[in-house]
Every structure is written in structure tokens, then in C-alpha cells.
Amino acid sequence: MRRYSKVIGTGAYLPEEIRTNDHISQTVDTSDSWIFERTGIKSRRIAGPDESAASMAEIAARQALAAAECDPNTIDLIIVATGTPDRVYPSTGCLLQQRLGIKNTVAFDVQAACSGSIFALSIADQYIQSGAAKTVLIVGSELCSRIVDWTDRATCILFGDGAGAVLLSASDEAGILSTHICSDGEYEDLLYCPNPQAATEPNKDETGFIRMRGNEVFKIAVNTLGQIVDETLAANNMDKSEIDWLVPHQANIRIIAATAKKLRMSMDQVVVTLENQGNTSSASVLIAFNEAVRDGRIQRGQVVLLEAFGAGFTWGSALIKY
Ligand code: ACO
């Protein structure tokens, strides 16, 4: 009998401060209407000075643990997806482990930019299917506001802060049906965040801020996400009509709408959170998934397609029977 990874709990955290498009247009040459029409974003959350990837991850993780009524000490693997770790090391996974008071477990970070939580789901599923782990905590946690150049109107309008979590447990019942992940480092210059302390001289960029050639990223994202959807359906011998919910990475409403169109899905079957959250990078898919589980849209037994695309480029999908 196949051993599945079943979702037993979800959680999320969004910081209190709301930064609207109007607020941003006071400091850079942009407008609420330009941002909303091109991206679908109206506002985003900004973490306070005392908050970090680990502190936000802890809140989201505790919610997921409470939802599953799970004792943290039964977790045998913690994977945190983040591009904004508190420290280069120890990993945010280790910091989260310590915050949750868990001993004798494995904890590490995954760095796959906006696709991070899909990569984490894929790794977790391999651990569970192979029998190497039974209960896995996955968290995507991002402080994008700290790596955004607030004077660059092409990027500062897009990003927000937050964390999302999912708890998986080994089960005989269907759970994750398949995951598909891929990377192509050829596109490293279209979207990147420099690390000034470690970069070689020719690549020196002292800012440490996100740099993006948005229009080129946009086109590749739309095509690639279309392909991953086809690959996922084919691998599961499934028809588009069998998918109940699409939970996409929240980068741009036009990218999301293009994927929904490819699946012939109405936007009513698509979970969209970016209007009031912006792009929270690796956290976005898990925050959206949590929202739709908690408000009752996603029901037990339904088929949910999670997908993401990000810097690298990296991309991936996870097809889940919830
Ligand atoms: N306000 C007003 N004008 C702007 C703004 C702004 N905030 N930003 C750019 N413009 C201008 C540009 O300067 C340009 O002007 P020009 O024609 O005079 O040169 C014009 O608007 C059009 O610029 P484009 O970049 O072509 O605009 P586009 O329609 O592509 O929208 C956007 C830009 C929203 C960034 C879009 O390209 C996008 O969403 N890209 C994909 C982002 C993404 O998916 N990233 C991957 C995940 S993120 C991660 O992994 C970390």
C-alpha cells in the first residue's frame, strides 16, 4: 500500500502594519491605479522591527500544530523555506526548532525563492513516502520588505511579509498525489538578490536589494507555469476538470489568471490573496492554502493544485487530495 503525506494542519501569520499603494506613491513615482491594474495588489503587510523570519514562522507553525492537535515532539523533520533568514546560519529551521522546544529532530532551510514552499513539500513527501519521516512541519517565512529597495518603483510595489505553515503526517489515505519541481540557473540575472558580503568582485552589488527584469520574468513565468500544470495532470492521468482548487504563488493577478485559463478554471476556484498581501515569496502559497482551508472553501477530499515560480528560475507544483 502506498504511504501518503496527508495535510493534518495549516497556519499563517501576517504582520500588523498595512502599507497601501497610496502610501508607496508618496515616495516613488507610481499610483494606486497603475499598481492595481498591472499586478492586482492594493496593499501589503510589513513586519515590525522586532519581527523576523523565525518569529513569524513560530506563530504560523503553532497554529498548524494546534489545528492538528499535534505534540511538537512528534515532529521528525522541520523544513523552512526562506530567502530572508534571521542568520546565514544556524538555519531558520534550527531557530524554529528551538522556539518550539523540540529536541531530537532534523531541521534545515530550503532556498528556492518564491518556489521554496513547493520545494519543501516535495522534499517532505519524499521523506514520508520512503518511511524516513512520519510527521513533517513545513513553513515558508519571508521578510521581503527588508530586501526591497523602497526607491525602486519596479520592485517595491510587489512584495510583502508573512509566514505560512503546513503539517504533514504519514497516512494510508490519499494526501499529496505528486510533486514536480525544477530549476534553471541560466536565468540568474533576470531576478536576484545579491549577498554583498559573499559576492565575487565582478558581481559586487553593495545594496543587497532585489533586482528584477519584471517583464521578461513575467513572460517566462506564464509559459513555465502552463507547462508544469500539463506535466502534473499527465503524471496523475487526470483531466483539468478534476481539480477543485488552484492555489497559485501570489506574484501577479495576470500570471494567476493565465494559469487558471489554461486549466479552464473559473477565478472562483482560484485562491487569491495578493490584493491585500502582495507577493510574500516562499510564504505565499502556504498562506493562501491556509486561508482557504480555514474559511471552508477547501474541503476534505477535494483536489488542490499548488504551484509557484521564482528566482533561479525555480518552479514547481504539488497536487494534493486534501
Ligand atoms: N509605477 C508606474 N510605472 C512603472 C512602475 C510603477 N510602479 N514600474 C514600472 N513602471 C513603468 C516602467 O518604467 C515602464 O515604463 P516605460 O514603458 O516608459 O519604460 C512601464 O511601466 C512598463 O514596465 P514593465 O516592466 O514592462 O511593466 P509590466 O506590465 O511588465 O509590469 C511587473 C511590471 C508588475 C513587475 C510585471 O512584469 C510582473 O509582475 N513580473 C513578474 C514578477 C514575478 O512573477 N516574479 C517572480 C516571483 S518573485 C521571486 O521569486 C522573488
| Cα(215) to centroid(ligand 1), Å | 6
Supply the DSSP string of 85-99, one letter for each residue: -SSSSS-HHHHHHHH
Atom of ligand 1 nearest to the CA of 314: 50
The tens digit of pLDDT for each residue in 2-33 reads 999 999 999 999 999 999 999 999 999 999 99
Tell me the CATH number at 37.
3.40.47.10
Among candidate residues 172, 203, 236, the one where a domain is terminated: 172
Nearest Cα to Cα of residue 14 among 140, 144, 162, 141: 162
Examine the domain organization and report whether 119 and 252 are in the same domain. no
Residue 153 in contact with ligand 1 by CB distance below 6 A: yes
Q: According to the model, what pLDDT value does residue 271 have?
A: 98
Residues 206 and 157 in one domain: no
pLDDT, residue 273, reads 98
Q: What is the DSSP letter of 159?
A: B
In a shared domain, residues 80 and 223: no
Q: Which residue, among 171, 64, 68, 163, has the nearest Cα to 117 in the 3D structure?
A: 163
Instruction: Name the residue range of residue 58's domain.
Output: 4-172
* Domain co-membership, 163 together with 23: yes
Sequence-distant (≥ 6) Cβ neighbours of residue 224 within 8 angstroms:
309, 313, 315
Q: Are residues 155 and 191 in the same domain?
A: no
Which positions are catalytic?
114, 249, 279
Ligand 1 pocket residue status of 148, Cβ below 6 Å? no
Among candidate residues 116, 137, 172, the one where a domain is terminated: 172
User: Do residues 284 and 82 touch, judged by C-beta distance below 8 A?
Assistant: no
Determine the atom of ligand 1 nearest the C-alpha atom of 31: 1
H helices, E strands: number in the chain? 10, 13
Of the candidates 128, 155, 172, which is a domain's last residue?
172
**Do 100 and 124 share a domain, yes or no?**
yes
Asked whether residue 135 falls in the same domain as residue 152, the answer is: yes
283 and 164 both lie in a single domain: no
**Ligand 1 atom at shortest distance from the alpha carbon of 39:** 34
Query: DSSP H helical segments within 144-198, as ranges?
Result: 153-156
Q: What is the spatial distance between Cα 56 and Cα 45, in angstroms, rounded to a whole number?
A: 12
| 158 & 223 share domain | no
Q: How far apart are CA 165 and CA 117, in angstroms?
A: 9
Name the domain count of the chain. Answer: 2
Residue ranges of the chain with pLDDT lower than 70?
202-203
Rounded to whole angstroms, what are the CA distances from 317 to 115, 173, 181, 246, 305? 9, 20, 6, 10, 7
Contacts of 33 (CB under 8 A, 6+ apart): none
Q: Are 310 and 292 in contact (CB under 8 A)?
A: no
Ligand 1 geometric centre to CA of 217 (Å): 9
The answer to whether 286 and 138 are in contact (CB under 8 A) is yes
Is the domain of 196 the same as that of 316? yes
214 lines ligand 1 (CB under 6 A): yes
Give pTM, 2 decimals: 0.97
* pLDDT, tens only, 137-191: 999 999 999 999 999 999 999 999 999 999 999 999 999 999 999 999 999 999 9
With beta carbons less than 8 A apart as the criterion, state whether 193 and 147 touch: yes
Whole-number pLDDT of residue 200: 76
pLDDT (0 to 100) of residue 43: 98
- Distance CA(91)–CA(87), nearest Å, equals 7
Three-class SS state of 212:
strand
> 116: which 3 cell numbers?
521554496
The three-point CA angle 90-15-310 to 5° equals 60
Do 128 and 8 lie in one domain? The reply is yes
pLDDT for the residue numbered 197: 85
Following CA atoms 253, 256, 260, 263 in sequence, which dihedral angle do they give, to the nearest 10 degrees?
A: 160
Name residues whose C-beta falls within 8 Å of residue 246's C-beta, 6 or more positions apart in sequence: 256, 259, 260, 263, 265, 269, 270, 271, 304, 305, 307
Cβ 182 under 6 angstroms from ligand 1: no
Q: Which of 215, 220, 285, 314, when mutated, tests ligand 1's pocket best, judged by the most ligand atoms within 8 Å of its CB?
A: 215
User: Interior CA angle at 144 toward 142 and 150, to 5°?
Assistant: 170
Claim to verify: residue 131 and residue 243 sit in the same structural domain: no
Asked if residue 125 lies in contact with residue 118, where contact means CB atoms within 8 angstroms, the answer is no
Q: Which three three-digit cell numbers place residue 295?
A: 474559511
Ligand 1 and 211: CB distance under 6 A: no
